[in-house]
Structure 1
Amino acid sequence: MFDWLIVGAGFAGSVLAERIASQRNESVLLIDRRSHIGGNAYDCYNEAGVLIHRYGPHIFHTNAQAIVDYLSQFTAWRSYEHRVLSSVDGKLLPIPINLDTINKLYDLDLTSEQLEQFFASRREKVAEIRTAEDVVVSTVGRELYEKFFRGYTRKQWGVDPSQLAKSVTARVPTRTDHDDRYFGDTFQKMPAGGYTRMFHRMLDNPQIKIMLQTDYREIRDSIPFRRMIFTGPLDEYFDWRLGRLPYRSLRFEHVTLDREQFQPVAVVNYPQTEDYTRITEYKHLTGQQSRKTSLTYEYPTDIGDPYYPVPRAENEALYKRYEALAAECPDVWFVGRLATYRYYNMDQVVGQALATFARIQKSLPSRTVTQIPAQREAAE
């Protein structure tokens, strides 16, 4: 009899497994239908010895010191600030849009003050900002929206930005200075030894048993457990009884080249051309030295593992109906991007998992823990 069955060994499931095992001294069976832990953040060395992210680039960034402190128990960090270029009109330009983006695109020499006037002259008045399109055209105008956002977003989500919630493009800032960092968070670093190594340290506890290539529906009636944490798609838990929640998937093409570098930054976006949305070159992320380099081409699709909840009003309405069903499930906690139908960053998932554990602590009496392992020292 396990105290807990946790479905999904990504950030949400792994953080909760670690907290329950180390702080409550309770037994956990952590399962995942894939052949590895770490969820979409899984990284590994390929046949060329290059450390790649199997499911596309994962760059850790946060403004929450408590989340940094928690994860730092299991990893040291490598400083890295993410920069992305966008292939527009035959030029590689910084994205998010900044002063250099506009000056290079139009062969101008604007100052920051002049750029604000430039944007002001192009903005469209939108009575009520509701969609992803509204956000962009009301900030930088129609032309820049068409060049940088519309094509990329249509490929990424399979629908026009005018049909998506404003949250999709509200995540991307617009700057009037030279700041070309993709994120503005105070903490931007990569796990020094990779994500998978961090997950292994997180789950290194005798109270945690891991079963991979395991579907929870195949074992839920044969392995006894007291409580469950579910991090998979919410509609799947209920056998799709209200209909399927739309999730967007990705297909990855991994390529290794016999050269040291392919592109000037880790990620280049392709909003105007190509079937793929972006190319990632991992050595920029990891700092690894190698005579070869490895790339990933990303092709969004509706077929395959679910990655992103599709933010549309009708999908949110269906999710709310499933959420009402979830509220009626005793001793089951639903956590993570798929189970709560939210487009969370990694740090937000960690924060949600830690907040869930705090609620568990408050609502459930725990065993007396005779000895809680001391905080692990960060590895090399």
Structure 2
Amino acid sequence: MITYPFLDKGATIGVTAPSSGVGVEYQELLKLSTGRLKKEGFQFSIGETASTQAKAKSAPAKIRAEEFNAMMSDEHIDIIIPPWGGELLIEILEYIDFDLITNKWILGYSDISLLLMAITLRTGIATAHGTNLLDLRGKYFDETTAQWQAVLSTRSGDSILQHSSQKYQREWQDAKPSPYVFHLTESTVWRTVSTDTVHLQGRLLGGCIDVIRHLIGTPFGNLQYFQQQIIHNEPIVWYLENCELNTTDLRRSLVQMKLAGWFEHCSGVMFGRSAANKPVEGYTAEDIYQELSEELQLPIIYDIDCGHVPPQITFINGAYAEIVVEAGKGTVKQYFRP
């Protein structure tokens, strides 16, 4: 069964960096983010790794893991939100004490999705794929990003509905700070392969494919155990997003998932918008989605609000979801079913 944490008002947020910390040049962004959330009543416990960064990581693997383990077992910390993603979270997995994992939310994306996936697969505790801490520094939240609090404050047994965004950000404009953080200029369209209308149902799992693919074949990626012992062979709806892979690398990753059995008992696959997906000899992401749909005989949805092209919906690993896409618009209703 799936266990769902609950975010209460006035919660204490633990800020640790299991991947990358915040270097000196970005310290002001961390202060803005914590200050913004303090105005909403949140308290903070900030770890040492949050403010250090060298050689593509916040600290050596054991130090990062020790700080995460300490925050996870600290009864005064209610939720853990890393500052952002990074590159080398995979180094800490062997040092995480999964027996210490308690029923508290972890929220993030990018490299953090590797940790989220490992925890949900191993423990059955739901984890939250969504905004990172530094993207919560704006004076205002756009409607899609703002839903993170409502989603994480949904009680076990209840449900919550989210809608596709109206607009998305094509590119970062750091020289022109926005009170919403993101510069939402492009019209959002959720697209589908083969049919104009798609209706999916199943347990959500996913994250950044660049990193979660590396769980395959490890003790932290035992999907068969999760399917059989935790969700009792209910279908899975995968949501995936691509940070840096060109199309042939994305294709290799999806074939690896298929050969490893990760698409068995699957009812559909969703892909986030991506600024990567660089075609190779005319081989495009759309070609990949078409091929995957034909091979798996499953519906494919793409350009959804997920990942490195914001804003993004808050997806809960382990939640039962109903996803409907029609005329370019999408809804995601998540049921916090055990």
Q: TM-score range by the shorter chain?
A: under 0.3
TM score, norm. by length of structure 2:
0.26
TM score, norm. by length of structure 1:
0.24
Which has the higher Rg, Structure 1 or Structure 2? 1
